[in-house]
Amino acid sequence: MSSTIDYSQELSVVEGKPPLRSIDDAIIKPLDSKPDKKYYMALAVTISMLGIGVIGLALSFYYGTGLWGNNNPVGWGFPIVNFVFWVGIGHAGTLISAILFLFRQKWRTGIARFAEGMTIFAVMTAMIFPAIHVGRPWLAGYLMPYPNQHSLWVNFTSPLLWDVFAVSTYFTVSLIFWYVGLIPDFATLRDRTSNKIKKIIYSVFSLGWRHSNRHWQHYEMVYLILAGFATPLVLSVHTIVSFDFAVSIIPGWHTTIFPPYFVAGAVFSGFAMVQNVLIFIRKIFNYEHIITLDTLEKMNKIILLTGMLVGYAYGMEFFIAWYSGVQPEQFAFVNRAFGPYAWAYWIMVSCNVISPQLFWFKKIRRSIPVMFVVAVFVNVGMWFERFVITVTSLSRDFLPSSWAYYTPTLTDFAILIGSFGLFFTLLLLFTKTLPVVSIAEVKAVVDGAQPSHKDH
């Protein structure tokens, strides 16, 4: 892109003016071709990671949660940190597909499908943790309100229960939203494939889609409604996740700023993760013209914005703690920055607040290697943010006599690695089974696809 951009004109989302047929071809190519060596190698790595996690989990189930670093003041450790982290990653998808859709941000079309996929996988990864972190996972079903002869009912005042509903609702809606978006693409796939089995599968999933005008009308309406439905969920899920902390009385947790702060953080880390993965996808599958550098730049701007929101929250927490005049509250924050976990705090601040500041520079926003590194930092920083909130607050709360330092164990790390393994394995499988970019939507934003009064 040259520096002479005509800002009075809406920028084209797809670079060049590819024929629609070529878009079909480009997007469907990975589905039609056999996976190459590199794909298998990547899959081997992610499955190994998953395997490490499975071993860690199996050991934990067999021996007990004692294999983790959790101790008496620090009842929640890595599993809850990972849970919040993965739920956060999931946020970008719905934000991109639903909120940006409502705001008519056309640049989202190239990345929406993939981001939604990531949402589903991230939430699936996240949902493992509440189930496994409990002391008796085989009784986790008690968290579901089901009628039973003991007349035992769940406790609706517990944020953990709200979590169960919030996350499962979010997952269900995201899944439906994703699937609805896929229906026209399934029809395209069905029409193109010559493989009998694939044909049957695509036919079933395309629900008899014939690209008719009526279908499109209904589709647009449903998509709009679902987008409207999903939008509040983007805000509610992480709000409720933040309630896990905010509803408690522990200094460092008991904070009203948490809901917006968590949502901003979630979007922040979600965008960073989407950006990271897309950099590979557009390169490997030659989607540079569909997922353009402009799109990546826009994402970087959002990372910059949310990064500053998060930074503001960090500052505000300190201010409110000081302003409250409550000694334990003040200490909780001073302790974060200067106590035994100061290392974690400063990793968090430098990754989340300082590193995104590079995105003020356009050159950096458009430099793929630099933006990749910054986004990796953001993800590391956001993981540490959850660690800092969860662990430092618990390790030194009200009574100094009960303070203790939390040290994660190998099993903790194994499960963390396993969660990345699961997420990336699902992503890899996704790239080979479904179109990672929405065929129908991209076609609609290609230059000239829409009627216009400009010269043709």
Partner 1 sequence: MSKTKNDKNFWKSLKEYYNDPDVLKSKSNEFADGVTEDFNPSELSPISRRNFLALLTASAAFTATACSDYQDKGEIIAYNKRPEGIIPGKPNFYASTCTGCSNNCGVLVKTREGRPIKLDGNPDNPINKGKICATGEASILNLYDPDRLSGAHKNRRKVDWKSIDSEIIDILNKAVSDGKEIALITKTVTSPTYKNLLTELKTKYKTLKIYSYEMFDDLNKRNAWEKSYGSRNYPSLKLDEANIILSLESDFLGKEGNYIEAARKYAGKRDVMQSIEFNRLYVVEGMMSLTGMNADYRFRLRPDYQKDFVLSLITEITNKNGKSLYSKSYSGKDFCTKYGFDQEKYSTLVQDLLNNQGKSIVLAGNSLSEETHILVNYLNDVLENSALYDNNSINNELIKNSSKADWKELESKIKNKTVSVVINAEANPVFDLSASFINEVETKISLVDSENETSSVSNYVLPINHALESWGDYNSRSNLISLQQPVINPIFDTRQKENIILTWVNGHSEAYSDDAYHQYLKNSFKENVYSRLNTPAAFDRFWFASLHDGAVQLNNETSANQFNYSAVSDIKVENKNNSEYLVHLQKSYYIGDGKFAGNGWLQEMPHPVTKVAWDNFAAVSPLTAKSLDVEMNDLVEVTTDGKNVKLPVIVQPGMADNLIAVELGYGREVISDSGKNTGTNANILLNGKGYFFDVNVSKADGTYKLASTQEHHSLDDTFVKDFHRKRKIIQEGTVKEYQKDNRFLDKYKYENFDITKGPEYTGLKWGMAIDLNKCLSCGTCVTACNVENNVPVVGKDQVLTGREMQWIRLDRYYSGTPEEPIVSNQPMLCQHCDNAPCENVCPVNATNHSTDGLNQMAYNRCVGTRYCANNCPYKVRRFNFYNFRDHFANAYYQNDVSALAHNPEVTVRSRGVMEKCTFCVQRIMEAREDAIRENKPLTGDMVTTACQQACPTDAIVFGDSNDKNSKLYKYRNHELGYHVLEVLNVRPNVTYLAKLRNTHSEEV
Q: Which residues bind partner 1 (CB under 8 A)?
A: 63-66, 69-76, 133-137, 139-140, 142-143, 152-155, 157-161, 164, 244, 247-250, 326-328, 331, 334-335, 338-339, 394, 397-405
Q: Which is nearer to partner 1, 164 or 189 (CB)?
A: 164
- Please provide residue 143's backbone torsions phi and psi, each rounded to the nearest 5 degrees: -75, -10
Nearer to partner 1, 285 or 398 (CB): 398
Q: How far apart are CA 139 and CA 366, in angstroms?
A: 50
Residue 20 host element (H or E): helix 20-32
Whole-number minimum distance, CB 76 to partner 1, in Å?
A: 6
For the bound state, the minimum distance from the C-beta of residue 143 to partner 1, rounded and expressed in Å, comes to 5
C-alpha triplet 357, 348, 128: angle, nearest 5°: 120
Residue of 50, 129, 58, 134 whose CA lies nearest to 88: 129
Task: Write down the least CB distance from residue 164 to partner 1, Å.
Answer: 7
Smaller CB separation from partner 1, 114 or 341 = 341
Comparison of 71 and 105: residue with beta carbon closer to partner 1: 71
User: Residue 115 Cβ, how far from partner 1 at the closest point, in Å?
Assistant: 31
Query: Rounded to the nearest whole angstrom, what is the least distance from the CB of residue 150 to partner 1 in the complex?
Result: 9
Give the chain's length: 456
Residue number with CB closer to partner 1 (160 or 279): 160
**Spatial CA neighbour of 381 closest among 354, 414, 415, 421:** 354
**142/280 with CB nearer partner 1:** 142
What SS3 class is residue 194? coil
**Toward partner 1, which CB reaches closer, 35 or 64?**
64
| Alpha carbons 193 and 116: distance in angstroms, whole number | 24
Helix, strand, coil share (%) of the chain residues, nearest 5: 75, 0, 25
At residue 6, what is the residue type? D
| CA dihedral over 126, 263, 223, 170, signed as positive or negative | positive
CB of 163 to partner 1, least distance (A): 8
Min dist. Cβ of residue 387 to partner 1 (A): 15
Range list of H helices, 64-195: 78-89, 91-94, 100-102, 109-133, 159-192
Q: How far is the CB of 233 from partner 1 (least distance, A)?
A: 21
Nearer to partner 1, 256 or 402 (CB): 402
Report which of 173, 347, 163, 346 is spatially closest to residue 237, judged by C-alpha positions. Answer: 163
